[in-house]
Amino acid sequence: MSATVLQLVLGGLAMGAVYALVALGFTLIWNAVGIVNFAQGDLVMLGAYVVVGSCFNVWHLPIGLDLLVMLGVMAVFGLAFAVFVYSPVRNAPQLSAIVATLGLSMVLENSVVLVWGPEPLSFGGPLGNATVQILGAKIYAQYVLILGVLLLMMLTQEGMFRFTSIGRGMRATAQDAEAARLMGIRTSRITALIFIYASVLAGIAGWLLAPVFYVSADMGVKVSLEAFASCILGGFGSIPGALIGGLLLGVIESLGGFYISSEYIDVIAFGVLFVTLVVRPEGIFGEPQLERP
Amino acid sequence: MPTRRQNPSCRGGRFSRRAVLGSGLAAASAALLPAAVRAAPSGAPIPIGCSAALTAQFAQNGLWMKQGVSLAAKQINDKGGVKGRPVQVFFEDDQGPNPTAASNAVIKLLTQDKVVAVIGPHFTPGVLPVEPMLSQYKVPALTGASGPVVTQQNNPYVFRVRLDDATGAVLLVKYVLESLKWKKIGLDYVNTAFGQSGIAAVKEALSARGVTPVATQTHLDSTKDFTSQLLTFKQAGVDGIIVWTDDAPSGLLVKQMKTLGVKFGLAGSTTFSQPPFLALAGDAANGVYSVTDFVQSNPNPRITEWKKVYHAVYNEDPELYATTYYDAMNILALAMGQVGEISGPAIQEALTKVKDYQGIMTSYTWSKNGDMVHSGLIAEVKGGAPQVIETVKE
């Protein structure tokens, strides 16, 4: 029985880790430029297609190199995103920028079908179907990898934000772009870097997800919705909030599906979100003030 | 190739390569025929509509459907068309199980392209909202949607060219109880009109034999993690689960059964014998049972011949969608050939007279509620390919 609970919790945490990675991308871009990037889930999908559809299936790159090549592609894409999608509308009303990300989402979902075909792609990943035994519970090894990578990403990001000048520049730009500019920070460059980082983050999520989900044009849609809910649950704009919100949502879904009903899995998850919004509208880690310049 | 309307979003990539290949072959075969043999159809083209999932999650299925219909239409036109008139197929995108997109696609076919018959929509949630339009415009549709609700509407303009899930469920339940000797059975289904009506039919077939399922679970097309569902079945101690679902969840479900190391079996809807499932599930597909209309590895000479013909044009083996709708187009041509003046109501009446028409998939006979297929196959996946275990009749 306890093995079942452990299996459910770890499975939920792994799903939650994926939501958290995507939620982190939401949070970064929200903090930096004050828009919700609705294409964040589709960036996950793009990363997965690049790594499986091209690096692995066509170029036959070894595991590891495929990840590096994909991250390179995603970085270039992130830059293009900042220059061609965000930059033209950065002075327009916030809504225009949000609509631009929605447009990008549609373009991506249909473009991948044209490039890689409509059939979902299957991918074994570095671990194949391997499983590990933890306290008598059989766990999909990929789930453990996902949790490990999330932890690593959190530590790297925390270190970067605290101890590097680029990281400090990103934080300054996020807090107050105008003041940062006055302090000599080249905010447009920092903004571009944030888009690049958010895309790379999504790419990593795609690489991690590809063996668990299949790679299909709609794989980002549900993740994106859950990640958005994670952000709200944890507190929009808060990095620990995105992490805890994601993990919590994953575990709630998993336990709720088992102990209550799989039919009401979304009702349970979004019910918790609803209650949170009523009781604590700013989310778990959010600050009560929500006004932005 | 007859004039076909390309959905703009399907240009490029494999679509255009195939289109180029197809038209190349058509041109080559036309050039090889002496002018006298070619009975080029003249007269105004007969407009036929085809509502297929050309974009979104089920675009691959839509592409196969389009290929089956296009191939049949081309062969019909090469033989002189219907009553000397060529058939012209208008393709519209219904995005699969999307009621809104399917309604828009079919209303456009009916009102703008003024088609006399519709092929599709394929998905149960797509056909249901379209049914009132078909009777309003008096245009018949041939669909492969297998949800029992499709023909339970008693709409005379709806014809089904695949095995009804209600019948399929009876055949599958009989097999798992009598041949596999399952005692404790769990149910899992995709929460759409297709899954709901399919699993309702399974429940009915089980209760007719005095069996009550010990656990029932449900998921969505977008569900990715089946841990909690599989653990529920494990806890209930099932011998096997009967699953009614679509392509993407089918592969994940079976894969996760393997990684979680559960011991029970799985038998399910047609999905569990088709190429998308086999590709996605890999090794985990072995040992899965399904009730189906068509499997590629069927040794019947009719099927092997069809595979050759299809392969020559599209360079791949035909599967369920291409085969079903190739047959549908031919049944439609047969019906149109028997009417005086070609019109929706006349074709509808002619379709009700179809009896023992031998298509590729099976023999088609109209029965009162619009069902035309009355037999199915039980298949088991062995070595990565579905094998026909037995042919079962209603």
Residues 229..248 of B with a Cβ closer than 8 Å to A: which?
229, 231-232, 234-235, 247-248
Residue B49: strand, helix, or coil: strand
Q: How confident is the model at residue A101 (pLDDT cuts 50, 70, 90)?
A: very high
Q: Is A9 on the interface with B (CB under 8 A)?
A: no
Distance, in Å, from the CA atom of B181 to the CA atom of B183, rounded to the nearest integer, reads 6
Residue A171 vs residue B362, higher pLDDT: B362
Look at residue B38 and tell me whether its pLDDT is greater than 80.
Answer: no
User: Of B244, B299, B294, B254, whose CA–CA distance to B274 is shortest?
Assistant: B294
Question: What is the pLDDT, as a whole number, of residue A289?
Answer: 58
**What does the mean pLDDT of chain B come to?**
88
Q: How confident is the model at residue A161 (pLDDT cuts 50, 70, 90)?
A: confident
CB B360 within 8 A of CB B295: no
Contact assignment for B231 to A8 by CB distance below 8 Å: yes
Each residue's pLDDT tens digit, B374-391: 989 999 999 999 999 988
Distance, in Å, from the CA atom of B335 to the CA atom of B126, rounded to the nearest integer, reads 24
Contact assignment for B13 to A253 by CB distance below 8 Å: no
Look at residue B322 and tell me whether its pLDDT is greater than 60.
Answer: yes
Instruction: Kindly state the helix (H) or strand (E) to which residue A141 belongs, with its residue range.
Output: helix A141-163
Q: Is B319 on the interface with A (CB under 8 A)?
A: no
On chain B, the residues whose CB falls within 8 A of the CB of A221 are: 222
Q: How confident is the model at residue B318 (pLDDT cuts 50, 70, 90)?
A: very high
Q: Kindly report the nearest CA distance between residue A85 and chain B, in angstroms.
A: 21
Domains B8-163+301-374 and B166-297+377-393 share a fold: yes
| CATH node for A2-279 | 1.10.3470
Which fold, B166-297+377-393? Answer: Rossmann fold (3.40.50)
Question: What is the pLDDT, as a whole number, of residue B25?
Answer: 47
ipTM of the predicted structure? 0.79
On chain A, the residues whose CB falls within 8 A of the CB of B284 are: 129
Look at residue B7 and tell me whether its pLDDT is greater than 60.
Answer: no
The CATH number for B8-163+301-374, chosen from 3.40.50.970, 3.40.50.1240, 3.40.50.2300, 3.60.20.30, is 3.40.50.2300
Phi, psi torsion values for B143, nearest 5 degrees:
-120, 155
Contact assignment for A119 to B60 by CB distance below 8 Å: yes
Report the chain B residue with the minimal C-alpha distance to residue A221: B222
Q: How confident is the model at residue B291 (pLDDT cuts 50, 70, 90)?
A: very high
Question: What is the pLDDT, as a whole number, of residue B39?
Answer: 58
Name the DSSP class of B5: P
**Domain residue limits, chain B:** 8-163+301-374, 166-297+377-393
Q: How confident is the model at residue B42 (pLDDT cuts 50, 70, 90)?
A: confident
CB A160 within 8 A of CB A194: no
On chain A, the residues whose CB falls within 8 A of the CB of B63 are: 118
What totals of helices (H) and strands (E) does chain A contain, helices first?
A: 11, 2
Q: How confident is the model at residue A290 (pLDDT cuts 50, 70, 90)?
A: low
Phi, psi torsion values for A242, nearest 5 degrees:
-60, -40
Residues 171..210 of B with a Cβ closer than 8 Å to A: which?
191
Question: What is the pLDDT, as a whole number, of residue A202?
Answer: 93
Distance, in Å, from the CA atom of A103 to the CA atom of A97, rounded to the nearest integer, reads 10
Least confident of A123-137, A146-160, B112-126, B150-164: A123-137
> What does DSSP say about strands B117-119 and B46-52: parallel, antiparallel, or unpaired?
parallel
**CA dihedral over A21, A22, A24, A29, signed as positive or negative:** positive
Contact assignment for B282 to A255 by CB distance below 8 Å: no
Each residue's pLDDT tens digit, A36-78: 899 999 999 999 999 999 988 888 888 889 899 999 999 999 9
Q: Kindly report the nearest CA distance between residue A117 and chain B, in angstroms.
A: 7
Query: How many CA atoms does the CB half-sphere of B173 hold within 13 Å?
Result: 28
Q: Among B67, B218, B227, B253, pick the best mutation site for testing chain A contact (most A Cβ within 10 A).
A: B227
CB B55 within 8 A of CB B311: no
Each residue's pLDDT tens digit, B183-236: 999 999 999 888 999 999 999 999 999 999 999 999 988 888 898 899 999 999
Look at residue A251 and tell me whether its pLDDT is greater than 80.
Answer: yes
Distance, in Å, from the CA atom of B376 to the CA atom of B173, rounded to the nearest integer, reads 13
Look at residue B150 and tell me whether its pLDDT is greater than 90.
Answer: yes
CB B23 within 8 A of CB B65: no
Q: If you average pLDDT over residues B46-71, what whole number do you get?
A: 92
Distance, in Å, from the CA atom of B179 to the CA atom of B91, rounded to the nearest integer, reads 43
